Amino acid sequence: MVHVAIVGAYGSAGAVAARTLADRQSVDLTLIDDGDPGGGLCILRGCMPSKEVISAGAHRFQARHDHRLDGALPDVDLAAVVATKDDHVADFAGHRRASVDALADREHVEFLRETARFLDDDRLAVGDRTLDPDYVIVATGSTVNLPDLPGMDEVDPLTSADVLDATTVPESGVVMGFGYIGLELVPYLAEAGTDLTVIEHDDRPLDEADAPFGDEILELYREKWDVDVRTNARETAVESTGEGVRLHVDGPDGEDAIEAEQLYCFTGRRPAIERLGLEDTSLSPGPGWVADTMQSVDHDRVFVAGDANGIEPILHVAKEQGEVAAENVLAHARGDDLVEHDPVHHHVVFSGLGVYPFARVGISEAEAEARGWDYVSVTRQASDDGVFKTKDVPEGLARLLVDSHDGTVLGYQGLHYHADVMAKTMQLAVEMELDVREIPDTAYHPTTPEVLDGLIREAAAAVEQH
């Protein structure tokens, strides 16, 4: 029997690894999680509750935005939003816990609801017990990251976790962090009634996107939600004013001080590994500390999956990594070669309250250019297709990238209504390496994917001409 301990069994990566290994009679499995109540980051504080709250903002935005509607505009009832979110999250988390708890009914599986800490490379302290497993899978997720900025200890910034529980919002706020968390929560706060200034370090947000998509986001947020986005600006210090905060910023026009009632920090997440006692092991967390096999580079019997490894903090990636970690533990025990996790890029950001989500599958044009690939790129505006106008969401654009020689679909980007659901279709096209000339270019229902039909026709024609 191979003894495997999973630290963080309720999380997305840990739960998948647990289910995979629990099915193997050759594995003696110890599940460890001290979550209270437990259920995993995505369910408790991540993608599920965030979509709950932004959907309420989306309904108000569409009512406010559509000139065909008349009557008094409703406010976002924050107390009702939070209460509904809490009910749903409790239900989702309960299902997750039940599915993992059920594994402990098996003869060779034990569940310890305690905190785990490494005593050395090979031993774990779990509650009042000491374990000596053959392998450890660390899947402890991530936590909010606060920047190391002068004056931060003088203020009380709010994070994404705070916004998800907020039943009131301030009149004004200044936002640090305009990545996927900021892109999702900034318009929600604006729709709830907060006047916002956002600090963006670069020319535009959406680093993974080609430039026109970031430019479109800027225009949407400035025009639709009246957000003041300061580009090419960096925070230098923050201080309390007694009634609020003053954020000092170095921008294109020099130093500036932005005053607001509240500071929001949407400055990303970091691996939640502080309590693991890694300082007592040979493990050295940091860039490159975990290989694509999910095996730590410093100890071949410790695997790290999901947000805890710092590679890519996304739910579906965590699940895939949990599966890879479990399978590679078994492979290592057999003396077989390990497999690498090398997924096709597949991200969705629920920007614009999910009315204008951004989706990217495969490579971008900027990446193809940097690699020196010979490609065809075609772009369509959402306004080119009448269906977006009839739904009163004509803003946005989409782009398709294909190999100019054989028509292989290389990548898709969309920033428009329903781009999120179209990502699955384009994932199939990219992962199956379909020839764009062989993809049907007519979709009868539903009608919003007509934007894909147009991209396919234009790309196929360009390949033929090439």
pLDDT in tens, 150-202: 999 999 999 999 999 999 999 999 999 999 999 999 999 999 999 999 999 99
- The model's confidence at residue 444, banded by pLDDT at 50, 70 and 90, is low
User: CA–CA separation, 138 vs 294, rounded Å?
Assistant: 10
CATH number, domain containing residue 401: 3.30.390.30
Same domain, 18 and 53: yes
Same domain, 209 and 330: no
Least confident stretch, 123-137, 310-324, 403-417 = 310-324
CA angle 78, 82, 87 (to 5 degrees): 150
CATH number, domain containing residue 132: 3.50.50.60
If you ran DSSP here, which 8-state letter would residue 378 be given? E
Note the pTM of the prediction, 2 decimals.
0.93
Q: Which residues contact 77 (CB under 8 A, 6 or more apart)?
A: 56
Q: How many domains does the chain have?
A: 3
Q: List the domain range (segments joined by +) for residue 27.
A: 2-144+270-334
pLDDT in tens, 241-280: 999 999 999 999 899 999 999 999 999 999 999 999 999 9
Same domain, 186 and 299: no
Least confident stretch, 98-102, 116-120, 322-326, 439-443 = 439-443
User: CA–CA separation, 363 vs 15, rounded Å?
Assistant: 30
pLDDT in tens, 19-57: 999 989 999 999 999 988 888 878 888 888 899 999 999
Q: Which residues contact 245 (CB under 8 A, 6 or more apart)?
A: 155, 174, 238, 239, 259, 260, 261, 262, 263
Residue 465 has pLDDT above 90, yes or no: no
Q: What are the beta bridge partners of residue 380?
A: 398
CA angle 192, 164, 58 (to 5 degrees): 45
Same domain, 132 and 89: yes
Cis amide prior to 287 (ω within 30 degrees): no
For residue 43, the surrounding DSSP H or E stretch is helix 41-45
Same domain, 204 and 301: no
Look at 445 and 423; give whichever has higher pLDDT: 423
Same domain, 138 and 159: no
- Is the distance from CB of 331 to CB of 341 less than 8 angstroms? no
Same domain, 277 and 133: yes
Same domain, 249 and 369: no
Query: Taken in order 123, 125, 129, 134, is the CA torsion positive or negative?
Result: negative
Mean pLDDT of the chain: 94
Helix ranges restricted to H, 46-159: 47-65, 78-101
User: Quick check: is 420 in a domain?
Assistant: yes
